[in-house]
Structure 1
């Protein structure tokens, strides 16, 4: 009986091995590549610190303000400064206004300390260009109130200039 038992065990083992070999022989594998893409969009932000001129007494007064532009790394941008809200203001002659009697005090905004290059809002003409590097980039605005404006009334004068980042 032991030979018969051994014979049955060998037969069952052979059958199991055959099934396993049969399964492995029929298994197949295929592969494909999955494409993965992303786009980084240009984005910019700007913060400002006010330009506060010292007291005007009829002689020229200069001052500065700071802009901070933060743009995506590699994003080209331009910074434009509008004409402000003063009566008859342009980007070449802006006007601070005394709210009490609507009198104006003319001033200019410039790209450098020598006050020779006006800062306006026409891209490619009178704006400041830069390229973002992903960090905050400081930009100085130079302001000037010319001497000789004796028709101005005593009081406080204000203006608001729109800063535009084109990117």
Structure 2
């Protein structure tokens, strides 16, 4: 069976096809122009800081530590922007001894009214006190940098038994 299109549909179909063909023709371009787009950013110095405790363990003033200090090591981990200059300092702690200053901290751990003296140092020879003024210089690499903290409890501190503790605030200034 042959289908024939009615006469009134044919002109509409032709008009529709012409419109469809016109829509697919791209618009003519008259010319072009260019401009520079500035793109910028600024990196500022930034640092984060975390600590690993200095855990001395058991202190024996009668035998092991009667004439030998008890030592332990902790760490201060800083992550600073690549190339940033920073300084890590330690405060005097929550139980500083009489005459203690930021530059010359006299740190003590407390157990009630009893105090155990100790020192924190920036070198393994226990000669450079890790203080709240000079501190230790750090140059940022964009990755974590560990700064060792060397602790020492002087020998011969005959104190009552118990748990002695202190809290020292570590600061990174950049």
Maintained 8 Å contact 2:49/2:172:
yes
Residues in 1 aligned to 2:96 and 2:70: alpha-carbon distance in whole angstroms: 21
Q: Which has the higher helix share?
A: 1
- From 86, 89, 95, the counterpart of 2:95: 86
Deviation above 6 Å: which 4+ runs of structure 1? none
The equivalent residue for 1:114 is: 125
- Kindly state the Cα deviation for residue 54 of structure 1 after the two structures are TM-superposed: 2.5
Residues in 2 aligned to 1:156 and 1:31: alpha-carbon distance in whole angstroms: 74
Residues in 1 aligned to 2:93 and 2:163: alpha-carbon distance in whole angstroms: 16
Residues in 2 aligned to 1:28 and 1:55: alpha-carbon distance in whole angstroms: 84
CA-based RMSD: 1.7
- Kindly state the Cα deviation for residue 31 of structure 1 after the two structures are TM-superposed: 2.5
Matches within 5 A, 1:9-20: none
Q: Does 1:69 align with 2:78?
A: yes
TM-score (normalizing by structure 1): 0.75
Maintained 8 Å contact 1:87/1:104:
no
* Cα-to-partner distance string for 1:105-140 (whole Å, 9 max, x where unaligned): 010000011001010111xxx310011111111111
Maintained 8 Å contact 1:77/1:130:
yes
Maintained 8 Å contact 2:96/2:106:
no
Unaligned runs of 5+ in 1: 1-22
- From 108, 126, 144, the counterpart of 1:136: 144
- Kindly state the Cα deviation for residue 28 of structure 1 after the two structures are TM-superposed: 4.8
The equivalent residue for 1:3 is: none
- Kindly state the Cα deviation for residue 87 of structure 1 after the two structures are TM-superposed: 4.4
The equivalent residue for 2:135 is: 127
